[in-house]
Amino acid sequence: MEVSPQFVETRLRDVFLDVVVIALVATLMALELVLAVAVGSVGKPLDRVLRLLSEQSESRFVHRIRSGGLPGLGRAAARLNDQAVDLAERLAALPAAARARLAATVDAQIANGRPVRLRLSDFNDIRLALFLFSLATEIAAAFLPLYARAAARPYWLSPEMAAAALLALYLIAVAIVSPFGGALARRFGPRRLFLAAVPPTALALIAMGLSDDVVGIALARAATAVFYAIATIACHEYTRRAAGHAGGARAALVRRRSGLRFPALLAGIVAPMNAATAIFIRYLSPLMLSAAGHGPAEIARVVMLYYLAIVLLSPAMAGLSDVRFGPVTLVLTGSAAAGLALLSLGLWSGFWAVTLSVAGLGVGHSFIRAPHYALALMLAEGGGDLGALRLVERSSALLGLLLSALFLADIGAESTVTIPGVAVLTGAAAFGIVELAGRSTPPSAN
């Protein structure tokens, strides 16, 4: 027996990287918790007080708010509530004739009975819940192809097709449920729908972990997909409601001259990016790293870089889209970065090549995610309906995954990744041309 310094160094490096991953996840969770506490104790209570103060300064005493937050904000809320409640009680105590004369002479709105609770919605209400839900459901995506490939399967199903079939069934389930998610959210409410989706999602994840064959894993993953789609669409609907009438007015102002811009957005940006993500992040990168001799821990760390870039950069990109660069510039920049990251695998190979491509695709997609939703809301017909966007997202990912699994054995993994890279760059160029042509066209007389 002899001591190998390289062996010890490798094991210590793995331990260090595992600690770094745990630290990153803990930091992100701590950040989300801090934001939730800040919003709950300062942000939302202050917004409620300012909103009620603005109404009462305009002689509208029809609402009350929930007291909460810091002590000063709680006292301010209680004082404003007392004014509205006191006026409502005084008005209710008057005879009907006196109330009629008062309504005719006093320029003020006073509640009939108890003032109604004023509820303010904001996307930060669901941020922590959506973060934890996505973390729990997507944490297995890094090693699911390996899990499915190693599980018991029918003799006629190859290992590569088993890995692809698992992801394909997931995307099919999401695609089937997505068109009905918006209607369910409007029928039952986004909050109720999200909470109803959580327990069955947990049960589906437990069932997936207990399954030992491809059929059981696939069915449990499909169930996870159904409830994941329901939960995320509920969050999207909640965000749309929180946006209020400003978003609807903004959408109506562009929609009048959308022309080919919305189809170009779907075909040039949404479809290629979702296909590239399904092909490379969910399917090929785990298989490529596994074929190179890397274990599940290393594969998970590499794939995590994509989601880490999304989590860290997407909020900043949303802000830049609104106040500085505009959504079109960010969408084109992100598409270019993602396409070049995928094409780089044709120039070199190995662990670091896959790692940098995964990170590059994550950075590029983070430029696109929020701005392309904003563009879709502005350009889509039917009052900003996102049904077509969701359909293209799911179907393009499914089609890309099936085609890559079909031709993987013939052309190899690197060439399979190159094709969506070319598609992303070509689609971005086409969308840019249509966007420029749409802006240069003079408006009609209407």
What CATH class is the domain 257-441? Answer: mainly alpha
Looking at residue 281, its amino acid is: I
Q: Are strands 63-64 and 116-117 parallel, antiparallel or unpaired?
A: parallel
Pairs from 372-377 (Cβ < 8 Å, separation ≥ 24) = 372/265, 372/269, 372/270, 372/327, 372/331, 374/318, 374/321, 374/322, 374/327, 375/265, 375/327, 375/328, 375/331, 376/262, 376/265, 376/270, 377/240, 377/247, 377/250, 377/251
Looking at the predicted structure, is the pLDDT value of residue 265 above 80?
A: yes
**Confidence band for 252, pLDDT divided at 50, 70 and 90:** very low
DSSP string, 205-241: HHHHHH--BHHHHHHHHHHHHHHHHHHHHHHHHHHHH
Looking at the predicted structure, is the pLDDT value of residue 247 above 90?
A: no
What pLDDT score was predicted for residue 30? 78
Cβ neighbourhood burial of 9 (10 Å; 0-12, 13-18, 19+): exposed
Looking at the predicted structure, is the pLDDT value of residue 339 above 80?
A: yes
DSSP summary character for residue 293: T
What is the rounded average pLDDT of the residues 389-414?
83
Looking at the predicted structure, is the pLDDT value of residue 313 above 60?
A: yes
- State how far the Cα of 353 lies from the Cα of 269, in Å rounded to an integer: 24
Helix H or strand E encompassing 62: none
All CATH 1.20.1250.20 domain ranges in the chain, comma separated: 257-441
What pLDDT score was predicted for residue 291? 83
**Confidence band for 244, pLDDT divided at 50, 70 and 90:** low
**3-state helix/strand/coil string of 96-162:** HHHHHHHHHHCCCEECCCCCEECCCCCHHHCHHHHHHHHHHHHCCCCCHHHHHHHCECCCCCCHHHH
Per the prediction, the chain carries an average pLDDT of 81
What pLDDT score was predicted for residue 384? 46
What pLDDT score was predicted for residue 245? 42
Torsion angle, CA of 89/91/94/99, rounded to 10 degrees? -160
Looking at the predicted structure, is the pLDDT value of residue 128 above 50?
A: yes
What pLDDT score was predicted for residue 336? 93
- State how far the Cα of 378 lies from the Cα of 371, in Å rounded to an integer: 11
Which tokens sit at 252? 């109506």
Which tokens sit at 65? 């708010």
Beta bridge partners of 60: 109
What pLDDT score was predicted for residue 441? 58
**Residue of 344, 369, 353, 358 lying closest to 273 (CA atoms):** 369
pLDDT digits (tens, 9 = 90+) for 30-65: 777 777 777 778 878 888 888 888 888 888 888 888
Beta bridge partners of 64: 117
Least confidently predicted of 45-49, 294-298, 378-382: 378-382
Which tokens sit at 348? 């070199």
pLDDT digits (tens, 9 = 90+) for 153-201: 888 877 777 777 788 888 888 888 877 877 888 888 888 899 999 999 9
Looking at the predicted structure, is the pLDDT value of residue 297 above 80?
A: no
What pLDDT score was predicted for residue 196? 92
CB atoms within 10 A of CB 204: 21
What is the rounded average pLDDT of the residues 81-106?
83
Looking at the predicted structure, is the pLDDT value of residue 337 above 80?
A: yes
Looking at the predicted structure, is the pLDDT value of residue 226 above 50?
A: yes
Q: Could you tell me what percent of the chain has a pLDDT over 70?
A: 90
Looking at residue 285, its amino acid is: S
**Residue of 168, 355, 392, 141 lying closest to 272 (CA atoms):** 392
**89 Cβ contact list (under 8 Å, min separation 6):** none
What pLDDT score was predicted for residue 343? 92
**Confidence band for 408, pLDDT divided at 50, 70 and 90:** confident
**Confidence band for 255, pLDDT divided at 50, 70 and 90:** very low
**Confidence band for 430, pLDDT divided at 50, 70 and 90:** very high
Looking at the predicted structure, is the pLDDT value of residue 1 above 70?
A: no
**Confidence band for 409, pLDDT divided at 50, 70 and 90:** confident
**Confidence band for 389, pLDDT divided at 50, 70 and 90:** confident
Q: Could you tell me what percent of the chain has a pLDDT over 90?
A: 13
What is the rounded average pLDDT of the residues 421-428?
93
Asked whether 51 and 76 are in contact (CB, 8 A), the reply is no
What pLDDT score was predicted for residue 251? 42
